Each structure stands twice: as C-alpha cells, then as structure tokens.
A and B are shown apart, each in its own frame.
Chain A
Amino acid sequence: MLGNKILDELSSQIKAVSTEADLTALWHKYLGREGIIKAQIKALAQLPLEEKRQQGPLWQQIQEQAQALFDTRAAEIRATNEEAAWQAEAQSLGLVPVKLGHLHPITQTIRKLNELFIRLGYSIMEGPEIETDEFCFQRLNVPPDHPARDMQDTFYLEEPNVLLRTQTSSIEARVLANYAPPLKVVCPGRVYRNETVNKSNHFIFHHYQGVVVMPKVSLVDLFGTFTALFQAIYGPEVKIRFRNKYYPEVEPGVGPDMQCFNCHGTGCSVCKGVGWIEMGGAGLIHPKVLTMAGLDPREWHGFAFGLGLDRWAMASYNITDIRTLLGGNLGYKPYHHENIV
C-alpha cells in the first residue's frame, strides 16, 4: 500500500536527521499543510463515498503513525542536546562530568528487603550454592524419595548427594545447625532448578528466605512480619491474604497471596483470572526440622518464609523478560551521565 511505502521512506529519512531544524523541515515535507501525507488525505475527497469510507481511517492511521515517529525522534534529539548542553556547562564551570554506576536490580531488591529486616533486628546470612542432599532436602523434612522432591528439579554434580541448591532454605538448615537460638535471620541467594529457559522462567534465579526461632512464635507473628514486608515493597495499601498450603518443612504451611496489582482482584491475564498472585511460601517451622537441628520443639518454635526475588525485581524495574537479569542487556545502560559533580 502507498501509505506503508511512505512510512518506510519516512522512517529511513528520520533516522538521518540530527537537529531540531532539520526535523521540522522533514515534518513539513510529510505532515505540513502541503505535505505528502496531507496531500493524500486531501485527495480522498475526490473518491467515491464507499472508497472514501475505506481509505479514510487507513490514512488517518498513517498520519498518526508518522506523527509518532516525529515525536520519538524529537525526544531523542532533545535528550542528546540536553546532554551536550549539560556537558558544555560542566566544562565552562571547570567541572568534570562523572558517570555514576548502578547496582543490579536484584541487588537493589535484596537491599530494600534487607533494610526492613535489619531495622527489625535480623541478621543476614549466606550459604554455599553447591549443597549436599542433607542440607537441601533431608534436614528440611524431605527425605529421599519424598514426593515433594518432584516440586524441584535438581541439578546434580554427583547424584544423589552433591547438588546445586534449589532453595535458600538450605541456608536455614545450616543456620539452625550452627547457631544457637534465639535467631532472626534473612538469607538472600541464588538458586538453581533444572528448567527450560524462556521469557518467564530461568534455571538460575534468586530467593529470599527468612527464619525466626524463639521460645514462642505463632502464625499471627508470621502474618504480621509478612504484611510489613509487603507493605515495605508495595506500599501500605497492598492487599494480602494467607491461605493454607503444604510445604514439607513447615507445619502449618502458608501460601501468601497479593491482590493482583493489574486488575485489583477482578481477574486478568496477569493473575490468570483469580485476582491474586502467589508470592512464595511460609509457615511455622516443622517440629522434625527443629529436632534434626538438635532443638527441642517443645522449647523452641519458629517461622520461616521464602520468596522468589526475580519477579519482584522485574515488576519494580519494568523488566519483561527474566533472561534480561543475567543476560548483559539490562534496561539500564552504563552510558547515562546521571550526575555531574
């Protein structure tokens, strides 16, 4: 169609334009009163009514697309000019423009959570990524051949005992084994599951685990902590619900959901129509887990929770493809001069 041909020509010409004056001239050439596109629109008046009805909306669309191309290019030229002016001003003041670096979105997400938990008196612990079956599964009440192992496809270095951790709960198991309670700990870290990589799944991702062991804790304490966590991330208006969900390392087990930020509970494609988004797993630490750590479950109680970090980071930083996080093509680029000192 002629309209598409005109748009193609415009696209290639607009890329070559580098000043606002040249861009204005090009705009007049295409969209000005006597411009190429305007001329086509005017010519519609000569067409029979039926054809006019068909062609009219198409040319209207082409005009809008052309205008969008001009708007985008104008913004780009303006940004470049501002950058140049900024640098010139800095030089005139005898200052050197300095590039500020960025922290990775995952690091920033972890920091946001750490800040909250440090304020609440938690310690931060890390642990090995190459784990043993004992700490990744058995000490979390998942003995060999337990059906819950189907939930996590494991990478093995030496099957069945040496593996890449599938969850940061393994750090929980190590903390319980090595430190005397009372304990309040959060454990961010990288985890691995043998899954196919696509836009929303990766075999390397990040978890955030929380563990509390005290003489007395309850579900109300867990819910309160979780609510504070969600409010710190999503603001005080966030709606959360807690439902029963089985995890072998906790009893009772809890599935925390957040009301869908997209549809606010009415159901949409983001929440698969249910109005809520699953946000991790939690519960009171299973008596068997405490016993395996050498703690008497009659004297000590605890709660634990685990969250996936990647989706949070993606939502916060408007990243739509999980592969971006580890792929060298992050939305932020290191060439933006964010500050001049």
Chain B
Amino acid sequence: MKILYSQIKQLIPSLAATPAEIGAALTMTGFMQESLETVNYNNQADVLLGFEIRQNRPDCLSVIGLAREIAAYFNLSLNLPSTKEWTPAEVPVSIRVETPAVRRLKAIKLQDITVQASPQWLVDYLAFYEINSVNLPVDLSNYVMLLTGYPSHLIDYDRLDGDIVWSINHRPREITTLDGTSFQLKDEELVIHDRHNVIALAGIVGTNYAAISESTKTILAEMALYDPALIRRNTRALHIVTEASNRLSKNLSPADLDYAFNLLINLLVDQTGGKIASQTFEDYKEKIEVKNLIFEPQLASELGGITIEPDHCRQLLSQLEFKINDKQLPWEVTVPSWRTDIELPEDIVEEVLRLYRFDRLPSVLPALPATLDITPLLTKAKERWRDWLAFQGWDEVLSWTMVRPDDNTLTNYLPWSMATVQNAINEDYPALRQTIIASLIKQAREYAKEQVPQLQIFELGKVFGQEENNYTETEHLGWLMAGGDGVVEVLRQTVTALLAHSGVEKIYFYPAKNIPAVANPYAAWTIMIGEKPIGLLAQLKEHYYNDETMVVAEIDVEQLISYLSEHPTLAPTVEITQKLITLDANLEAASRQELVMKLQDIEEKLGRESLWSLAVIDEFCLPSGRYRYTVRAVYKELDDQSAKKLHLQVFGLQ
C-alpha cells in the first residue's frame, strides 16, 4: 500500500518525522517498507512510501489505516477528513438482498449528476496507485477506497430495469466487464443484477451494463461488505483480482463502513452537483458488536520475556486506541472497531510488544529443559549412510521429484500406480517419481553433457505412488554408476557392503521378475534381505557418454529399517570392561624391514592377552642415516602401573 508523505502530514499535522523515519517505524511494527520514491504531486516535491500489508490488516489497505499506525507509533493524534450530514429523500430505492453473503450494504440514489473529467490532482493521485482515471464520479469512488479501504460501486440508475438484487448467481451466463473482458458465470458467484442483466460481480468488478458514462444523470451509489471467503473463492475461480476484491476478500470491519459511505456521498454531492434522491437503503442483519476482551497485562511480560509495567502497557494500548475500562486487574479492553484481527489476549500482547518494539528485547539463548530424543532411527541411519557412501567415493545428488509420466513408465518396477498433481505449473512434469532411478538417469544425462568421468552418484529421497486409491510415499536410496566391465559387480558389492554395514546378514540378488523398461532384462536382480524383496539392481540399456555401461540400484530404506528393527543383528561386538592404556616408545632401525622385525619381536613378548594394538605413528630420519620410529602400544586388562612396567621392560627403556 502506498501513501504520500504530504497526505500523512495532512492527517497528522503535528508529525515531525521524516519519510525515512516513518518507513523505519512501520517496518519494525509490522508493515515492511517496500519502496520510497521522490515524486512530484500538486506541483510540489513529495515522497511516496510503499508498505507491505499482511493479510490480517485489511484496515491498513488504506491511507487512513496507515496514518493511524503512524500516529500510534509517534503518539500523535489523527485528524480524519470531516463529513457533513445530509437529509435523505423520502423515496425508497428498490433493492433486494437475497443472500446472507452480504454482511452489510448501504446504498443511496443521487440525481442531477454532471459527469465530467476529473481534475488533474485526482488523475495524478490515482496514477500513483496505477488506477486509470475514468470520470469524476468513478474516480471519487476509487479515491474513497484508497483513503478508507472501503470499495464502492456506482450504477447508472436510469438504465436499470426493475429491482436491484444481490444474489448468488443461479444460472450460467456470459458477462462482459468494464475493461471488455468476457466471463462465463457458473452458478456460485455473488452478483448484482436487475431483471435481465448482471450489473456487477459483487465485490470484484462491474460489468459494462449500467456503467457511469457522460450521459449518466442519476446514480445509485452502493458500498457493501461480503463474506470474504466467498469473494476469495469467486476471485480465484474467475482469475480476476481487483483493488476491490483484494480488500473485500479480507475481514474489513462492517462498523467502519458508515464513515467511508458518508465521505463518498459528501464528495459526490460536492464535486458532481448531485442531489440526494432517495432514502438510504441499509441491509445489516447481523450487527457486529463492540469487542471487549479480558486482559491481564502481566501476559505481555510473560510472553515478551521482559518486564513491562501495567502503566506502560496501558499507555501503548491507548496509543493504538484500545480502551481500558478497568483500573483493577484483569482489565476489560475494548478493541477498536477497525481491528478485526484482535480476538484473543495474545493478540493484545502482540500489540503491546510491537509498539514497545521487538528490537528492544534482548536475545538470550535459553537454557531450556532437556527433552526426550524422538529422532526416528531412519533419520539417524540416513546420515550414517550418506557419510559411508561419500567416503566410498559416491557423490550425493538431489533431483526433481516431479517427472514426466514417461519417466515413471520406463523406470517403475513396483506394484503401484502413478500419482500426479492436478495443477502442475509445467504441464510436462505432472507426475511424482515412482523410483529414484528415474531421477538418477536424468542426472547422468546432465553429467554426460559435461563429460564427467567416473560417474558415481546416489540420492536419498522420497518416491510416490498410489495403492488401492491411497497416495503413498516412501524413502528410497538409489545409486547410478558408469564404467567398464565389472561395474555391475562393483555396485552389487557396494549395495551388499552398505546392507552389511547396517547390520543385515542375509543379502541375496535374485533374477528380477518386474524389470523396468530401461533395464537390460538379462542383467536385472531383485535385492533381497532374508525373504524380503527390498530393491533392484540393474544394468541399463542406455550407455554413458563414452559408451560406458550404466548400472543402477535402488532400495527401500524404510523397509530396511523396519527389517533391522525386527531382526536385531547378531554380529559379535567387543565389550571393553577395563580402560585401555596408551603408551609411546621410540625405536631406532636402519630400515623399515628391521623395524618390522623388531615389532614382531615386541608383539611376541607382550602377548595377545595384554596388547590391544601396536602402531607406528611417526618416522624421523636421523643424521646418521638411521630412522627413529615412534611406536604406540595400547594395553588392555592391565592397571596403570602394570602396563607401564611391562612397556618399559619390553621396549628396553628401564
């Protein structure tokens, strides 16, 4: 939402802050500054500020809404444009509201209107918001929308045929909007129509029927709020987003419609010479009551993590025009009518803290209590597998999980059907991959373009499918390797080693029955753990760029983890019941051969009962041409004293 600095000054005359200070203030309190540009307006230099308005604050999709925030931040008062009361005529207007989707509607007829072009200030003003000038009455309607946030609609009354009706459209028909675009209505849009014609898609856009033109003399001015969800659905279904629909698809306050409507009628009467020609029609069945919340100011301190005194809290809330009705705790707080986003005490806490400013709160790393580690076994295992594979020379890739349907058809070997998205942005890639192999082949083709030798890639990721009309996904590990003869055996050994490393004892490769179309049917195997099929190993028909054989493998790691949980490994482990004692010693030798002989002798003397390990950890060439080696001996089953005694004795250091 954009706002002119000169207009802020008009609304807050005592404001001394510069445009940059205003930008910084609103950024910190919930409205990120998006732009600041110097402009010329009304023959004077001005500054146009732009702010991001989040979905909870439709009241700030308006100049007055933003000015109200600025006034609150700087603790200044806001002067709204004044409006005059008018005397309605006695004639009623024939309006029917046939749907509860209309939350509030006000309308009035004006006659003797003179439709002319807008003055330059108005044309220039609307241009800042990328709104084209149409004519004075329509431009004034847009001006009021920008000022207050409430869209309105003007109808050429003399062209209407019968009652004006707000209803959910019940018969499909084609309409043409003001900009000449045609739409086919279904049966669920909220429309404004007369006996035969649709006047507007309510809350979104007017049609070219009964639009204001130079010949218009009588206007029906209406301002309404609708069920925001319905406007949002209609907007999405018809793919029309307008300034009006952007506001009316959010929760604007019905209570504040009066001011906006009065301002519109005042401006139309003043600027177009129109006269009030009817009663004010109003439909406001479910009146929104003033919202009072019980609030304990201590909550702001608790959630903020700092101490904010109740008086300070009261001050900050009053700047935001919240009314505190009690002196005793807890407070009853009256929420300003325009703040439809405030529903809970926690919402009030946010108001207090944002005006207090988050950047005044300290950042302290909390000493939070310990909690149970709920990390799944699979998550931990995946990290180990990644490390193991990288150490074995495999490169990890990540790929698109959305693929062409053909990619699945050619690579799938599992008994499930394809899952596809309904609204893929790229129509060529609507399918979710059923195998990692599909992704790895695409990756290999990219690597081939770069002529990368020694291709050894793996990916850990999700694959997807449908089983009995249910969508399923599971985590797979896939490999792709390119090379000469024996590459199939190398990958078979890698898969075997990974499974064995994970604790699987019975690993078999049986000739595969379900062979994907990309695979060589004579070189495809089902990977089995025990009696459970867990994946596929296959040579591909396609070759790598320099005619190397490509081989792929894929296993279901979720099944693997489940198998391991059911079959705990029986592999022997060493339990160290006593501490290990590490001691170093230096040995001199003329050559490595002599060293090896000396070490064999030492190992024999120490015996396997006491020796855990013996290793050479350093080599140093002496000036004499001989070598000095540092040998590290690790002792087990001995206490410190015994180990030291043995060490000194065996290495001849006593």
Contact = CB atoms under 8 A, between A and B. Distances in A.
Interface residues of A, number: 89
A190 B424 CA distance: 17
Contact of A216 (B57, B302, B346, B370): B302
A99 interface: yes
Contact of B454 (A99, A225, A228): A99
Interface string B351-389: 001100011011111101111111110110001001101
Nearest to A195: B425
A18 interface: no
Contacts of A325: 398
Contact of A284 (B303, B396, B425, B447): B303
A241 B32 CA distance: 13
B73 to A, nearest CB: 11
Contacts of A162: 471
Contact of A244 (B28, B373, B386, B419): B28
Interface stretch (B182-190, B225-233, B533-541): B225-233
A1 interface: no
A244 B55 contact: no
B397 interface: yes
A147 B368 contact: no
Nearest to B302: A218
Nearest to A110: B383
A286 B32 CA distance: 22
Given A101-B396, A241-B359, A246-B55, A158 B422 contact: yes
A243 interface: yes
Interface string A104-125: 1011000100000000110111
A334 interface: yes
A244 B29 contact: yes
B275 interface: no
B151 to A, nearest CB: 16
Interface in B19-35: 27-30, 32-33
A155 B365 CA distance: 37
Contact of B363 (A106, A126, A217, A227): A227
Contacts of B250: 147
Interface string A318-341: 000000011111101111000000
B392 A326 contact: no
B238 to A, nearest CB: 15
Interface stretch (B89-97, B258-266, B455-463, B609-617): B455-463
B402 interface: yes
B215 interface: no
A221 interface: yes
Contacts of A103: 386-387, 390, 396
B395 interface: yes
Most buried by A among B27, B376, B395, B471: B395
A129 B462 contact: yes
Contacts of B55: 146-148, 150-151, 246, 248
A135 B564 CA distance: 30
A88 interface: no
Given A155-B423, A197-B426, A220 B304 contact: yes
Contacts of B510: none
A328 B446 contact: yes
B379 A203 contact: no
Question: Chain B contact residues (Cβ within 8 angstroms of A): what range?
Answer: 35 or more
Interface stretch (A3-11, A29-37, A180-188): A180-188
Interface string A208-221: 00001010111111
Given A179-B374, A220-B306, A252-B353, A99 B393 contact: yes
A146 to B, nearest CB: 8
A284 B349 CA distance: 11
B32 A245 contact: yes
A147 B232 contact: yes
A100 B389 CA distance: 9
Interface in A121-167: 121, 123-126, 128-130, 144-148, 150-151, 155-159, 162, 164
B425 A121 contact: no
B553 to A, nearest CB: 16
A301 B304 CA distance: 12
B592 interface: no
Contacts of A156: 421-423
Contacts of A155: 421, 423-424
B112 to A, nearest CB: 40
Nearest to A256: B358
Contact of B303 (A157, A218, A278): A218
Most buried by B among A195, A226, A246, A327: A246
Interface in B446-499: 446-447, 449-450, 452-457, 461-462, 464, 471, 473
A333 B303 contact: no
Contacts of A27: none
Given A124-B375, A151-B55, A244-B29, A221 B368 contact: yes
Contacts of B378: 126
A286 B422 CA distance: 32
B170 interface: no
A244 B30 contact: yes
Contacts of B347: 251
A334 B229 contact: no
Interface string B298-323: 00001111100000000000000000
Contacts of B303: 218-219, 252, 284, 301
23 contacts: A99-B393, A101-B394, A103-B396, A104-B396, A121-B371, A130-B432, A145-B233, A157-B419, A159-B423, A182-B368, A194-B424, A194-B425, A203-B425, A219-B361, A220-B362, A221-B305, A221-B364, A223-B363, A224-B365, A242-B361, A252-B303, A252-B354, A284-B303
Interface of A: 98-104, 106-107, 111, 120-121, 123-126, 128-130, 144-148, 150-151, 155-159, 162, 164, 175, 179, 182-185, 190, 194-197, 203-204, 212, 214, 216-221, 223-228, 240-246, 248, 251-255, 274, 278, 284, 286-287, 301, 325-330, 332-335
Given A101-B390, A224-B364, A243-B358, 12 more contacts: A104-B397, A106-B398, A121-B368, A157-B420, A157-B422, A219-B353, A221-B305, A228-B365, A244-B353, A328-B447, A334-B454, A335-B454
Minimum-distance CB pairs A-B, first 10: A218-B305, A220-B305, A328-B446, A145-B229, A252-B350, A246-B54, A101-B390, A221-B366, A244-B354, A147-B55
